[in-house]
Amino acid sequence: MSIARPSQFILCLCRRSTRSTIPRSRRALHSTPVRAAADDPEDVETINIPNEGRKSRLTPNEKWKQRYDERQVEAIQAAKEVIGDKFQKGRNVPRTDPWSVDYYDSFEKIDPVVDQPVRAPWTNLDDAQRLRTSDEGDADFQKFLESRPAEEDANGEPIAMQYVKYLESMRLTSGRKEAELDAPSAMMPSIPSPPKPVAKVQPNRRVQDEDDDDKPNAKPDSASTPETLRLMQMTGLSGRELAALRVKTIVVRRVANQTRLGKIYKQYFLSIAGNQNGMLGVGEGKADEGSAARFQSQARAIRAMQPIKRYEKRTIFGTVSGKVSATELELYARPPGFGLRCQRLIWEMANCAGIYDLAARVTRARNPMNTVKATYQALLAQKDPEDIARARGKKLVDVRKVYYAGNLT
């Protein structure tokens, strides 16, 4: 023990308290005055719990009687009979519960990507199914001719419409009807491809008739230059088809040739051309004047167009690489909606070829001319899986069209 608290203090702690009264508890700070006495039981209103709980089970008519008089209730009932459930039909209130979908949909059609497909049962199979013979088809058509009326049926349906319905319902096989019209399949619906970009039409461009373009001996347009006419003869394309191509000049340089008389400067142009549907070409041009060099590069790009392999008409097959001089690059296939995430030169080439999902990485040198040539080389170096399967004698099945509607990554 310390000096300030001697050991005698321990004896004081062990003593029993001599207080006989119970200490009063302190009242919390509150503005309500203290009640002097309890409430009289006669003054307390008796609450009937069953009657209070019955309020939640009242019908609409009983609730109206509590708020309105008899005439008002009769008017409400008459109006309800006239209106009915008119405002109850077609209500489309968005759900806010945790199980609601995170997108807006009327659920009227099956989405091939989000929804689970509705498949035909596997019982819709017929082992004895075979193609119908010509005699069976003629007999069926003869029955149709004999069953139709002279001009119109009772509903006023014309003969042409009856014939169209017959062609739509005509069967090509014999056996169970479900085996042909609703056969089971493991294939998933294809993912919709992105819309094709619409080219802007110049207001001063004169459009020729399609009939004139299709004629081999059609009279050329007076606005066409001799170079354009020669290009049309070499490529076999009409004026409308040439105007629909996407032609872009992406590299412009000023080059010089050293001679004994000095340097001779010229203009160098590198252009690309494509139909945005799998065709792409690269062309170079060099001349003293820029306009001549530009047309020369564009004409060569149109003449050099070659088909580019595309997977689902949106991306490439796997990963491909290209190398020109010190420029090396790799192109990667990407899922739907990824977009074109690459530099501007590769972006322009992919847009001309009709590729919408692509990723690229350029290593080492980034020379613009070599980058374009390496990209074109990589696009042409794609390997078609169908050719590989045919060479190996195998059957190729694309799992992206069978499972998860192509959402595999």
Q: Residue 285 sits in a domain of what CATH number?
A: 3.30.160.20
Q: How confident is the model at residue 198 (pLDDT cuts 50, 70, 90)?
A: low
Which of residues 138 and 51 earns the better pLDDT score?
138
Residue 113: inside a domain: no
3-state secondary structure of 273: strand
Can you give the pLDDT at residue 206?
44
Can you give the pLDDT at residue 395?
82
C-alpha to C-alpha distance for 163 and 152, rounded to whole angstroms? 12
Is there a single domain that holds both residue 301 and residue 323?
A: no
Model confidence at 43: pLDDT above 80? no
Can you give the pLDDT at residue 382?
94
Helix axes 290-303, 226-235, angle to 10 degrees: 10
Range of the structural domain that residue 388 is part of: 319-401
Which of residues 374 and 43 earns the better pLDDT score?
374
> What residues does 255 pair with on adjacent strands?
266
Model confidence at 213: pLDDT above 60? no
Helix axes 60-67, 70-83, angle to 10 degrees: 140
Q: Which of 104-113, 153-162, 213-222, 277-286 has the highest mean pLDDT?
A: 277-286
Is there a single domain that holds both residue 297 and residue 325?
A: no
The total of structural domains in the chain comes to 3
Residue 77: inside a domain: no
CB count within 10 Å of CB 405 equals 19
Whichever domain contains 379, its CATH number is 3.30.230.10
Is there a single domain that holds both residue 328 and residue 298?
A: no
Can you give the pLDDT at residue 220?
47
Q: How confident is the model at residue 207 (pLDDT cuts 50, 70, 90)?
A: very low
Can you give the pLDDT at residue 348?
95
Is there a single domain that holds both residue 300 and residue 238?
A: yes
C-alpha to C-alpha distance for 90 and 119, rounded to whole angstroms? 28
Is there a single domain that holds both residue 286 and residue 258?
A: yes
Can you give the pLDDT at residue 214?
44
Which of residues 195 and 285 earns the better pLDDT score?
285
> Which tokens go with 94?
């968005």
Can you give the pLDDT at residue 250?
94
Averaged pLDDT for residues 189-209: 55
User: What tens digit of pLDDT does each residue of 133-161 get?
Assistant: 888 888 888 888 888 765 555 555 677 78
User: What tens digit of pLDDT does each residue of 54-100 get?
Assistant: 445 677 778 888 888 888 888 888 888 887 766 665 556 667 788 88
Can you give the pLDDT at residue 39?
58
Model confidence at 271: pLDDT above 80? yes
Is there a single domain that holds both residue 275 and residue 326?
A: no
At a CB cut-off of 8 Å and minimum separation 6, what does 245 contact?
A: 273, 274, 275, 302
C-alpha to C-alpha distance for 129 and 177, rounded to whole angstroms? 10
Residue 74: inside a domain: no
User: What tens digit of pLDDT does each residue of 329-351 get?
Assistant: 999 999 998 999 999 999 999 99
Averaged pLDDT for residues 285-314: 93
Tell me the average pLDDT of the chain.
78
DSSP structure string for 215-253? -TTPPPPTT--HHHHHHHHHH---HHHHHHSEEEEEEEE
Residue 8: inside a domain: no
C-alpha to C-alpha distance for 14 and 231, rounded to whole angstroms? 119
C-alpha to C-alpha distance for 156 and 148, rounded to whole angstroms? 12
User: What tens digit of pLDDT does each residue of 228-246 get?
Assistant: 888 888 888 888 889 999 9
Model confidence at 174: pLDDT above 50? yes
Model confidence at 390: pLDDT above 50? yes
Question: In terms of pTM, does the model score above 0.75?
Answer: no
Can you give the pLDDT at residue 165?
84
Residue 156: inside a domain: yes
Q: How confident is the model at residue 260 (pLDDT cuts 50, 70, 90)?
A: very high
| Residue that terminates a domain, selected from 307, 328, 360 | 307
Model confidence at 328: pLDDT above 90? yes
